[in-house]
Amino acid sequence: MRRPGAAPATRALPLAAAGVTVWLCLHAPPVQAQPGQTSAGRPAAAPSRAQPADARPPRVDVAVGVKWDRGGDRGTREASLTGGGIPHGGEVVLFRADTRQASAAGIAIRAGVRVTGGLVVEGGAFISRPSIDTTIRDDVEQPEGGMSTARLREFVFDGGLRYEWRPRAARLRPFVRGSLGYLRQLSDDRTVVEAGLHGEVGGGVFVPLVRRARGMRAAGLRADIMATLRRGGFDVDDTTPTRAGVALGVAAFVAF
């Protein structure tokens, strides 16, 4: 006979005893009885009494995963000579160079501390190796143009707020968040450093897959989608100082 609320605990215990990590749990997500939900052969759970630990949101959560930044335009420059007009010749374009930061995936780490209710103070770091690619066009002597590429090392350290909901009828925990941080880009040989600001506004969802194992309150997956704003870094056109972009993230989280 199964008692309401017993399923998560009994499912988690053997895993914990066997020393199985959260990552393995992600490959075999447990089926959980949710409040008000009835699975075949199972009675509906009674959440308020059966899962007292889950009724309170976690105080601290940490997520480690992968983030993909779409990159984007970093400006266009014309290489110009001076023409032979009289008395002034004006500019004659030798070639044009379009520069963009290529999309890149990197390692993202985020940690949050609940302040009150659904409000969480969150900070994070992102490390990636994007390239900046310059495409040459309109060369006066060579119509095929060319491409020049440099590999960068990019670091973002940011902080901000997250607000999350805990809908009664769903096990997912959606959230919205915003952050502002320090952008640091280095040339591959680390001799040149460009700093800037990096902001993100977006949302996402926590998908708890394991509850109350090895002292943690929950573990599972976290997915983020963000609109990004960036100023500084390697950017060749200072007339457009703020660049918009998109980033996606998926991470494994643990909450305590």
Contact residues toward other proteins (CB under 8 A) are: 75, 77-89, 92, 94-95, 97, 99, 132-134, 136, 139-142, 145-150, 187-189, 191-192, 234, 236, 238
Closest CB to other proteins among residues 152, 156:
152
Closest CB to other proteins among residues 44, 192:
192
| Angle, alpha carbons 38-44-48 (nearest 5°) | 135
| Angle, alpha carbons 62-205-68 (nearest 5°) | 75
Q: How far is the CB of 30 from other proteins (least distance, A)?
A: 49
Closest CB to other proteins among residues 32, 131:
131
Q: How far is the CB of 190 from other proteins (least distance, A)?
A: 9
CA–CA separation, 54 vs 164, rounded Å? 15
Task: Supply 234's token pair.
Answer: 């390697």
Closest CB to other proteins among residues 134, 179:
134
Q: How far is the CB of 251 from other proteins (least distance, A)?
A: 31
CA–CA separation, 185 vs 175, rounded Å? 29
Q: How far is the CB of 72 from other proteins (least distance, A)?
A: 16
3-state secondary structure at position 220: strand
What residues have CB less than 8 Å from 87, skipping those under 6 apart?
none
Q: How far is the CB of 141 from other proteins (least distance, A)?
A: 5
Any bridge partners for residue 66, and if so which? 107, 250
Residue 48 CB: number of other CB atoms within 10 A?
Answer: 11
Cα 49 from chain centroid (whole Å): 35
Closest CB to other proteins among residues 53, 94:
94
